[in-house]
């Protein structure tokens, strides 16, 4: 299953446009906890951040193009 790890803070939502594949939800939650711990180490700016885990649905996967994925990586 593909999971997305969005980051929310007082400035808004930073959406994960790519996601990662995990066999089960527990593994995705563990990854989100690791992300949150790393953000907390990054300084005051990220300490109020929350990592949101969203599981992809089949229709959502069909709507994501390679161009969308490249843009989320900062590629033209």
Domain coordinates in residue numbering, the chain? 2-72
Residue given tokens 């949150």 in the structure block: 36
Residue given tokens 């990592």 in the structure block: 51
Q: What are phi and psi of 13, to 5 degrees?
A: -115, 130
23 against 48, higher pLDDT: 23
pLDDT of residue 46: 67
- For the segment 8-42, what is each residue's pLDDT rounded down to a tens digit? 988 899 999 999 999 999 999 999 999 988 888 87
pLDDT of residue 58: 52
Task: With beta carbons less than 8 A apart as the criterion, state whether 6 and 52 touch.
Answer: yes
60 against 38, higher pLDDT: 38
């Amino acid at each position: 299953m593909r999971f997305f790890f969005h980051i929310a803070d007082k400035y808004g939502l930073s959406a994960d446009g790519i996601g990662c594949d995990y066999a089960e939800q527990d593994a995705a939650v563990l990854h989100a906890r690791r992300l949150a711990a790393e953000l907390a180490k990054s300084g005051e700016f990220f300490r109020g951040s929350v990592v949101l885990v969203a599981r992809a649905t089949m229709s959502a996967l069909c709507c994501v193009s390679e161009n969308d994925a490249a843009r989320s990586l900062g590629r033209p």
